[in-house]
Structure formats: C-alpha cells, structure tokens
Structure 1
Amino acid sequence: MPSRPLIGISTYAEPGVRWGVWHLDAVLLPAGYPRLVQRAGGLAALLPPDAPEQAAPAVARLDGLVVAGGPDVEPVHYGAEPDPRTGPPARARDAWELALIEAALARGIPLLGICRGMQLLNVALGGTLVQHIDGHAEVPGTFGRHPVKPVPGTLYAGIAPEQTSVPTYHHQAVDRLGTGLIPSAHAEDGTVEAIELPGPTWALGVQWHPEMADDLRVVQALVVAAGGRGQSCLPPVP
C-alpha cells in the first residue's frame, strides 16, 4: 500500500489549560483540522511552536503544510500600529509560523493557509492586513456562513469552480497583497477570501474554515499535490 502524504499542521500554545484533574500548559488544535487531513487521504502531524530555526528541518520531513487559524497576527509584522480591536499578540506562534511558511516556499512544499494562516502567508510575502471588518464574525464563538466566488483561471477555481457557501469566522482581512500573490476568491462584499502564489509551488490561502465543513476539495487538492512530490520516506535533514 502506498504511504499517505505527511501533512504538518501548526497548533496553538496555551497556558494553564484544564482537562480532567489536570491544569497544565498545552499545545492544542481543534480536532477538525487533523480529521480533515485524514479524510482527505493524508497523515496529520501537529507542529507546536518551536524556535524559528527549527522550521526548515521540520518542513524537510513533510510532504505538505497547513498553517491553521488562530489569533490575530501582530501588526508589527506588516509595519502597522495595533488597532484597539486587534487581539493580543501570539509572538511565539507568529515567529514559528512565519518561519514555517518561508521554509515551505523555499523547499517547494505544498502549503495551505487557513484563516490566520492565509493572512500570515500574505504578511510573509510583504502584504498588509485590514485590522477590522464587520460582517464575517457575527456571534463570538460561532461560525457563520457566506458565499465565496472564485476568480476564473486560478488554482482555487480549478478546485471549486462554482460559488460556494463556506463557514467563516474572522474580523481581519487581506489589504495589500504580498509579492507575487493574486486573489482567487471574493466574498459578496469584495473581501478577498482566497489568495494563491502562481508558479511551481502549490501555495493557497483561504479565509474560511474548511475543517468546519464537509467539502474536502481544498484539502484533497493539497494532499494530491503533496503526494505528487514523490516522497515515500523521510528525506535527510539538511
């Protein structure tokens, strides 16, 4: 049986999480992320925050990478002052995930950014963010839905050519696109809902949360691209 592509997924790092009789620091991730990768035919591996210099050796062991959703990106990374509505920084996670993105792009590892992960992909390539928009996270802790329309001729349009209703929960969005990136889907209000990097590396960001839906197409496309790289065993660490 051929081996399934190994897909790394970045995680949260949270202090003082309580479960059962324990109250300890934890690295964690909503179960929808690994389940989605598994349902799409990949093997899921969690990547908790680490020293940024460890990102390249970690990525070298992967066939594909998912940068998961989470807290707001600290505005210092795109040269802005914090808006009062921007959440507290997650500095260790910012540094780690930016290093993961850089390593994946340098190595040609298929990369999917989800929500915060899409915003980080944009920032990593020199783009900026709108620090607050209305209408995309109406009820705290509850995912909403809205339609997104693909841009014809893009990678995303090849995956999902029709307008699609997606689960959404975000209050920030892409502003100026990073170098080389193009928009590949929009919401009805014009918000950029997907971005991609044309070229030999499979690199896509979606502003919504595919792990909260039954549509596997985006992650299946990632897994297929990861499997197409021909890695059937762990490569040597450079």
Structure 2
Amino acid sequence: MSQPLIGISTYQQEARWGVWTLPAALVPAGYPRLVQRSGGLPALLPPGDPDTAAAVVARLDGVVIAGGADVQPARYGAEPHPRTGPPSLDRDAWELALIEAALAARVPLLGICRGLQLLNVALGGTLVQHLDGHAGPDGVFDHHPVEPVPGTLLARALPEPVTVPTYHHQAVDRLGRGLLASAYAADGTIEAVELPAADGFALAVQWHPEAGDDPRVMDALVAAARGAAPGA
C-alpha cells in the first residue's frame, strides 16, 4: 500500500463560516497537509463513542492525536491549577480510547502537543499544569531548540538538534509506564516521548510539526504505517 490511511483526531466545537454558526469537527489544515506531504491519506476523526475506538483504529494504518485543550487534571489525580484551561471531557475520553486501541493493535501512533500529554496520562503519568517560555502571545507560535536523545526512535528521524514551533503551557511531569523521554528543551522540559516496548511505532512530540516546514516526524509515522498496512 503506497498511501497509508492516517486518522487525525479533531476538535468538536462551535464554528462560524458563511451564514452559519454551528457545532463542527475541526482541525487546523496543517495536520492533513503534513500527512499528505509525507505520502499519507488523511482521515479526520471527530470525537465519538469511546467504545467504537477499536473499530475505528482497525480501519486505519496510523493515528495522529492532535493538539488542543488541556487534559482534565482528574485524569491524572490532580486538582486544577489556576492557569489550567477548561477541559474537553468528550475529547479526552475519545482520544484516550484511540491511544489505547492503537497501542493494543500495534497501529503506528504519533501524538502532537496535547497528544503527547494524553499518551503520558494514558500510561499513568502526570503533567506539569503550567510553565512559561514555550508559547508566544495568544495564537502565535514561539520557536525554541530541542535536543534529541541519541539512539531513540525520534533521533532516527531527527538526528540533530532542531528549532521547532511550540505553543504549550503544560508538559510531562512524571513519565508514564514504559515511556522514554527522547528529546529535551534547554530548560529541561521533556519535548518528546516514545514507547520502546511497543511492537511498532509509538512516538509523541510536544511541539507542532504541522506549523513548521520540517516533515520528518510525520515522514517517520507514514513510513511505519506503510510498513504496517495490509499488503504493504
């Protein structure tokens, strides 16, 4: 299969276009564009019944968990910090179910920003609920360097330090079960995690590759999905 089907999780919120203001399933266009640039076929996944996640993942060759709202602190046993944003409960439940289904079925998985945080929470980890210096003004990406850890899955895709687009105020605190930190920012913030014990590809980055011009992280997911696809 030359073009694997890559599912991308989406927001569900009110949006306005033309004369309409209605609930909509949304994701920034950079996500499907990056999948296409890397040779995949994007499929948008609106929040749904978590019980159907395994059936959805079974039809995909790879899964991307996109960025977005803060994860509900109760998911990792914490009280909300004053700077923690309102959670998206339906999306939390849906994307956690997608992560669990992808790991169980060994479907290649890439988490982006919130997706990294959810992967960590899914495996029993916790989050720093607020930190400074990793976002620009509202709606503006900042940029900072990250240092890949040699010998990791991430370092095979990004073997050298890179400057990345970033927009987050939360990050990994305690790593989840089996996760390995595979990149760091200069201030020590974990910028990528992966699951070495996974039989396949499970990687997440804290930055936003869909907002930059370096496709190599998505290239790695699509390559893994192509190899995992039936008939590949």
Range of TM-score over shorter length: over 0.9
Other-structure match for 2:37: 39
Shift of 1:108: 0.1
Other-structure match for 2:201: 202
Deviation per CA, 1:61-112: give whole Å up to 9, x if none.
0000000000000001000000010000100000000000000000000000
CA distance, structure 1, for counterparts of residue 116 and residue 229 of structure 2: 26
CA distance, structure 2, for counterparts of residue 228 and residue 96 of structure 1: 26
RMSD, aligned CA: 1.0
Shift of 1:229: 1.0
Q: How does 1:58-207 map to 2 (within 5 A)?
A: 58-199=56-197, 200-207=199-206
Q: Could you tell which deviates more after superposition, 41-50 or 134-143? A: 134-143
Shift of 1:230: 3.3
Q: Contact 1:3–1:232 at 8 Å: present in 2 too?
A: no
SS at match of 2:103: helix
Runs of 4+ in 1 over 6 A off after TM superposition: none
CA distance, structure 2, for counterparts of residue 111 and residue 232 of structure 1: 19
Q: Contact 2:4–2:229 at 8 Å: present in 1 too?
A: no
Q: Contact 2:166–2:206 at 8 Å: present in 1 too?
A: yes
Deviation per CA, 1:141-176: give whole Å up to 9, x if none.
000100000011110011111000000000000000
Q: How does 1:38-57 map to 2 (within 5 A)?
A: 38-57=36-55
CA distance, structure 2, for counterparts of residue 220 and residue 197 of structure 1: 18
Q: Could you tell which deviates more after superposition, 69-78 or 196-205? A: 196-205
SS at match of 1:104: helix
Letter of the aligned partner of 2:49 in structure 1?
A
CA distance, structure 2, for counterparts of residue 34 and residue 68 of structure 1: 11
SS at match of 1:228: helix
How many aligned positions are there? Answer: 231
CA distance, structure 1, for counterparts of residue 18 and residue 203 of structure 2: 38
Other-structure match for 1:220: 219
Letter of the aligned partner of 2:216 in structure 1?
R
Other-structure match for 1:29: 27
Q: Contact 1:5–1:231 at 8 Å: present in 2 too?
A: no
Shift of 1:23: 1.1
Q: Contact 2:38–2:218 at 8 Å: present in 1 too?
A: yes
Letter of the aligned partner of 2:140 in structure 1?
T
TM-score by length of 1: 0.95
Shift of 1:137: 1.3
CA distance, structure 1, for counterparts of residue 24 and residue 8 of structure 2: 16
CA distance, structure 1, for counterparts of residue 32 and residue 231 of structure 2: 20
Shift of 1:19: 0.7
**What residue ranges of structure 1 are gaps of 5+ in the alignment?**
234-238
Shift of 1:232: 4.6
